[in-house]
């Protein structure tokens, strides 16, 4: 079994959430599952100084930045084939809502990066399982174009926007997950609710195990 993990840069405020990404990879290894890390070859929406929270006057590439997390082993999602994988997982971080999509800027009127969308929709068409962490579930309605049970935790405004897009948000504690059995979609809040890395790990480890179960 091999699972694709799509990253969105490196860093919670402008890319992939590093804890969530590493916990996902660690959980896959703990379950003896092979994986590849992928990312879109696009410029980030912006670059944030993670010490101050202020935008920086520079540009960074999401694929290059994601390689920091994967220790250099990264694949351009546009060049990847869904046929090579049994499942797909999206860690969170604002990059999922800024670089993989523009949900952070446009809410319910958002679009998903075309290469990411095409890749994910191949999994949906083949009924292969997908896992979405933190804010990444905001992409689910755009991928499926039908009602899917999902969670980002309990944030009412974010849930409202997701429901406006056609999703069905289910409130969920940080240590748990929501599973749409029919569509093989799993989601967990992670740092939408987590106050520390241990809380995030609890839900992510359950999500990874469930994605693996659905892929068997």
* Percentage of the chain exceeding pLDDT 70: 100
**pLDDT tens per residue, range 54-87:** 999 999 999 999 999 999 999 999 999 999 999 9
CATH value at residue 78: 3.40.50.880
Express each pLDDT in 101-132 by its tens digit: 999 999 999 999 999 999 999 999 999 999 99
**What mean pLDDT, rounded, does the chain reach?**
98
Please give the Cα distance from 45 to 68 (Å, whole number): 18
User: Total domain count for the chain?
Assistant: 1
Buried/exposed code over 146-176 (b: 16+ C-beta within 10 A; e: otherwise)? eebbbbbbbbeebbebbeebebbbbebebbe
Cα dihedral 151, 154, 158, 163 sign: positive
Residue 102 φ/ψ, nearest 5 degrees = -115, 30
pTM of the predicted protein model: 0.98
* Residues 39, 99, 68, 24, Cα dihedral to 10°: -70
CA distance 120 to 65: 21
Q: What is the pLDDT of residue 177?
A: 98
**Is 111 an annotated catalytic residue?**
no
Share of the chain above pLDDT 90, in %: 100
What is the DSSP track for 100-138?
A: SB-HHHHGGG--B-HHHHHHHHHHHHTT--EEEETTGGG
Give alpha helix (H) positions in the chain.
18-30, 62-69, 95-98, 103-106, 114-125, 140-144, 156-164, 197-215
pLDDT for 210: 98
**Which structural domain, as residue segments, surrounds residue 134?**
2-215
User: What pLDDT, on a 0 to 100 scale, did the predictor assign at position 109?
Assistant: 97
CB 59 within 8 A of CB 47: yes
What pLDDT, on a 0 to 100 scale, did the predictor assign at position 143?
A: 98
Structure confidence at residue 158 (pLDDT): 98
pLDDT for residue 193: 98
Q: What is the pLDDT of residues 6-45, one digit of tens each?
A: 999 999 999 999 999 999 999 999 999 999 999 999 999 9
* Element (DSSP H or E) covering residue 186: strand 185-188
Which helix (H) or strand (E) segment holds residue 150: the answer is strand 149-150
| Confidence (pLDDT) at 72 | 98
- pLDDT of 28: 98
Q: One of 10, 37, 110, 134 is an active-site residue; which one?
A: 134
What is the pLDDT at residue 214? 98
């Amino acid at each position: 079994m091999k699972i694709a993990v799509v990253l969105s840069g490196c860093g919670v405020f402008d890319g992939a959430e590093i804890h969530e990404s590493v916990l996902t990879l660690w959980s896959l290894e703990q379950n003896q599952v092979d994986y590849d890390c992928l990312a879109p070859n696009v410029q980030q929406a912006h670059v944030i100084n993670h010490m101050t929270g202020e935008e920086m006057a520079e540009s960074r590439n999401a694929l290059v930045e994601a390689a920091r997390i994967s220790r250099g082993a990264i694949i351009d999602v546009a060049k990847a084939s869904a046929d090579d994988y049994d499942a797909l997982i999206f860690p969170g971080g604002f990059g999922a809502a800024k670089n993989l999509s523009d949900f952070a800027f446009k809410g319910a009127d958002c679009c998903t990066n075309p290469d990411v969308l095409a890749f994910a929709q191949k999994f949906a068409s083949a009924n292969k399982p997908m896992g979405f962490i933190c804010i990444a579930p905001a992409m689910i309605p755009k991928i499926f174009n039908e009602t899917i049970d999902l969670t980002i935790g309990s944030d009412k405004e974010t849930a409202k926007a997701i429901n406006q897009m056609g999703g069905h948000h289910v409130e969920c504690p940080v240590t748990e997950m929501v599973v749409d059995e029919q569509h093989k979609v799993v989601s967990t809040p992670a740092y939408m609710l987590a106050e520390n890395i241990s809380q995030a790990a609890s839900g992510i480890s359950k999500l990874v195990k469930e994605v693996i179960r659905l892929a068997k």
